[in-house]
Amino acid sequence: MRLFVGLGNPGARYARHRHNVGFMAVDAIADAHATSPWRRRFSGQATEAVLGGMRVLLLKPETYMNDSGRAVAEAQRFFKIPLHDIVVFHDELDLPPAKLRVKRGGGHAGHNGLRSITAHCGNDYGRVRIGIGHPGDKALVHSYVLSDFTKVEEAWVEDLCRACADYAPLLARGEDASFQNKVHLAMQAKGWTDVRRPGEKAPGGAAKE
């Protein structure tokens, strides 16, 4: 059993927030591969899928971001899932928008969802880091992550989430580098090579989203 966790906050008011892109990615995987409807389990919403021949539990904690680890720990204990078989999808300020990186272990970089999971479960789980860009000023981070993607941003979010769903079987088999490369190539093919955060100026001074 593998555990894929999407991070976000529950409820309609948060649904399109940048901080909820982890939920969006896991929703896309479920739409493409789930074998059962979402249902309330482990202080969240859960469903199962078979990816790359592996049984995978998909989980969206409903404990709010800062307490995500409680839900993850419940699922981990119930199925006795090793930490290295857990992968967490989350927003990443330190990556440009539309970029994705996979890593194992490491720090939480101030992300409260990761901080909570590490506190409850340990640190050596996988991360799928989905770049949303940084607003440029630390004082703006809170309002930036807790605001909706713009319509322009929603286009790349949809393409990236679809790519995550298409290549999720690679991730389930532990082929992290192949998953990351396939998603990169899919986004490149869609033309998402130089996406900027809202209001950021492109070379030459013109604002480009």
What is the full DSSP assignment across 159-207?
HHHHHHHHHHHHHHTT-HHHHHHHHHHHHHHTT-SS---TTPBPTTS-B
Q: How confident is the model at residue 204 (pLDDT cuts 50, 70, 90)?
A: very low
Q: How confident is the model at residue 122 (pLDDT cuts 50, 70, 90)?
A: very high
Which residues contact residue 14 at a Cβ distance below 8 angstroms, ignoring those fewer than 6 apart?
8, 20, 146
Q: What is the pLDDT of residue 107?
A: 80
**Assigned domain for 203 exists:** no
**Assigned domain for 144 exists:** yes
| Cα three-residue angle 154-206-93, rounded to 5 degrees | 45
pLDDT tens for each residue of 166-183: 999 999 999 999 999 999
**Assigned domain for 145 exists:** yes
Q: In this structure, what CATH number is given to the domain that contains residue 175?
A: 3.40.50.1470
**Assigned domain for 199 exists:** no
Domain that holds residue 8: 2-189
Residues involved in catalysis: 19
Closest by alpha carbon to 24, among 153, 182, 193, 189? 153
**Assigned domain for 200 exists:** no
pLDDT tens for each residue of 54-67: 999 999 999 999 99
**Taking the CB of residue 45, how many other CB atoms lie within 10 A of it?**
22
Q: Hey, what are 50's tokens?
A: 């078979």
**Assigned domain for 51 exists:** yes
pLDDT at 160 over 60: yes
Q: What is the pLDDT of residue 207?
A: 42
In contact, 199 and 206? CB cutoff 8 Å = no
The percentage of residues in the chain with a pLDDT greater than 70, rounded to a whole number, is: 95
pLDDT at 208 over 50: no
φ, ψ of residue 39 in degrees (nearest 5): -145, 160
> pTM for this one?
0.94
Which residues contact residue 114 at a Cβ distance below 8 angstroms, ignoring those fewer than 6 apart?
7, 88, 90, 108, 127
**Assigned domain for 194 exists:** no
Number of domains in the chain: 1
196 or 32, which is more confident: 32
**Assigned domain for 196 exists:** no
pLDDT at 44 over 70: yes
In contact, 118 and 86? CB cutoff 8 Å = no
Rounded Cα distance between 157 and 144, Å, is: 16
Quick one: average pLDDT of 24-42?
96
Q: What is the pLDDT of residue 205?
A: 43
pLDDT at 158 over 90: yes
pLDDT tens for each residue of 64-120: 999 999 999 999 999 999 999 999 999 999 999 999 999 998 887 789 999 999 999
Q: What is the pLDDT of residue 206?
A: 41
Q: What is the pLDDT of residue 202?
A: 57
Q: How confident is the model at residue 196 (pLDDT cuts 50, 70, 90)?
A: confident
